[in-house]
Chains A and B, each alone.
Chain A
């Protein structure tokens, strides 16, 4: 009985094999015909492929062209003004009075740097702790609620941050600390919130990139989880976290509209955190629409200084990230 069944199956299998063989032979012939026939046409499609690759390449080079063009045009327009005013008078001059032909942007450089330091003081600890929470402590369900919130924070336009700062934080600072409320403190707070998403998402990625064995080793040696996170995981993720902070610095220095609405914009070096400040970015944005001649060019000069700041930060991050991946 069983032998008979097996023989039947074998016969069916053989039949199937034969049919497949015939089909494969036929298929092969068809493929050969197809391959042999268009041999002459191959060249055209080769040219087409080559052309397409060039088009893609040019699109990829677009970013390079853009960066080059931006650099060149900003410098062409800004450098002559800096030369005319004098490099030292321009960068170290503490008086900005376009009507009196005084173009010193030291107050703006100071304003940008102070505001950024303030933003870092507020944004970095909160951001890194949140990143640790997301990467290590949070149950998946909670993390899945917090992460979209962080993304949303990144999606809010800067002008809305500025508006919120104007109607909520400025009066709050004024009530609590006195003064007008338009201050270095207010600007720092808003900037600190604005750089949170950058710092959180990049630090979290850096923490997650650390091999699990590091932490497990520490745990095996009897360290508590939190202790392992802070003494093993964080040092191992250091370069990624530093890169996140530098990117945050870049965002804070470059932010314009939010700062303009809350900082008071007086071109004077602030004496305390409750004094108003004017940053390099707001200096450009505030006066660009009515500036002419040397004043106009001096604003581009401000752009040059800002650009140099950003490019230095950029190079530093690039090398940090590279050193990180090289390991």
Chain B
């Protein structure tokens, strides 16, 4: 009996060690191998004779992130407000919840196919940053809705009751009382969304294209960091560039995760204080 316990317990430790170890392995390997290939010129120029700078790639990524966040945030936050503040349990809410869950489970390549046929072909947006952004907007909706719902649910009931007792309307209560105190949670949702958009590749390369040129506007095609990373890795022409790009992605991921955690902690602390 005791040996069995000991074996099981050591399995728990080993598994956790493996989980954390793999993470450190991936991040450590990429950072160690790649940092040497990063230079200011690499980040701040377009293609030169010396090397292929990734400035156009970074700009395209920023376009996609900005557009995606600007479109997805209001829709997602409003949807979450409806689900937590207005909706009564019923069939329609069940349908919305099932749809949100399904949306979260659909593989990104399927979003890519949909974006390709709907935004690129039917809406005649061509392969463009707009088409890519609209596609990722649908993709990230479940993330924003779920995180915002959590944030809204964590607002104490007394806030709402207090506001209603003072004669405030529902709309005023939501915008003056509930939303402000849920802001850190929503912020963390937006940050996570940014991370997902930056990391997305399968849906983006089918809709936003892979042209490594500086985009002149949102109707131009563009190549984002993740797509660039994929192309460098699969072509295998320049592994130095691939490592350098990987470092940029890793750093973004680290910043995004850190910032999202900070925002959540902010939310928790303000709840504790109140």
- The answer to the question of B164 belonging to the interface, with a C-beta cut-off of 8 Å to chain A, is no
B113 lies within 8 A of A250 (CB):
no
Interface residues of A in 5-57 (CB under 8 A from B): 31, 35, 45, 48-49, 52-53, 55-57
Q: Does A202 contact B (CB under 8 A)?
A: no
Most buried by A among B18, B112, B113, B138: B113
Contacts of B239 in A (CB 8 A): 167
Q: Is the interface of A mostly helix, strand, loop or mixed?
A: helix
Q: Would you give the shortest CB distance from A139 to chain B, in whole angstroms?
A: 12
Interface residues of A in 200-218 (CB under 8 A from B): 200
- Is A310 among interface residues, defined by CB-CB distance under 8 A? yes
Contacts of A146 in B (CB 8 A): 16, 19-20
Q: Is the CB of B201 within 8 A of A66?
A: no
| A157 pairs with B226, CB closer than 8 A | yes
A68 to B98, CA, bound (A): 12
Given contacts A126-B15, A164-B30, A288-B206, contact A159 B105 (CB under 8 A): no
Q: Which residues of A contact B11 (CB under 8 A)?
A: 129
Q: A66-B138, A159-B230 given as contacts; is B9 within 8 A of A307 (CB)?
A: no
Task: Name the residue on B nearest A145 (C-beta).
Answer: B20
Q: Residues of B contacting A61 with CB < 8 Å?
A: 96
Residue A155 interfacial (CB < 8 Å): yes
The majority secondary structure among interface residues of chain B is helix
Interface string of A66-84 (1 = CB under 8 A from B): 1111100110010000000
CB-contact partner of A160 in B96, B109, B138, B229, under 8 A: B229
B23 touching A254, Cβ below 8 Å: no
User: Is B82 close to A, CB under 8 A?
Assistant: yes
Q: Given the known A-B contacts A148-B261, A255-B107, A303-B113, are A163 and B79 also in contact in the complex, defined by CB atoms under 8 Å?
A: no
CB pair A257–B201 under 8 Å, yes or no, is yes
**Interchain CA distance A141-B141 in the complex, whole Å:** 33
Q: Which of B94-118 contact A (CB under 8 A)?
A: 95-96, 98-103, 105-114, 116-118
30 example contacts (A-B, Cβ-Cβ < 8 A) are as follows A53-B86, A56-B86, A59-B74, A59-B78, A60-B79, A63-B103, A73-B114, A74-B110, A77-B113, A126-B15, A126-B18, A129-B16, A130-B15, A130-B19, A148-B261, A152-B257, A153-B22, A155-B195, A156-B199, A164-B30, A166-B233, A196-B22, A200-B19, A256-B108, A257-B226, A285-B205, A288-B112, A289-B206, A289-B210, A310-B106
User: Which residues of A approach B to under 8 Å, CB–CB?
Assistant: 31, 35, 45, 48-49, 52-53, 55-57, 59-64, 66-70, 73-74, 77, 125-130, 132-134, 137-138, 145-146, 148-153, 155-164, 166-168, 193, 196, 200, 224, 226-227, 230, 247, 250, 253-257, 260-261, 281, 284-285, 288-289, 299-300, 303, 306-307, 310-311, 313-314, 317-318
Q: Name B residues whose Cβ lies closer than 8 Å to a Cβ of A.
A: 1-2, 4-5, 8-9, 11-16, 18-20, 22-23, 25-27, 29-30, 33, 74-76, 78-79, 81-83, 85-87, 95-96, 98-103, 105-114, 116-118, 138, 141-142, 145, 167, 169-171, 192, 195, 198-202, 205-206, 210, 226-227, 229-230, 233-234, 239, 242, 246, 249-250, 253-254, 256-257, 261
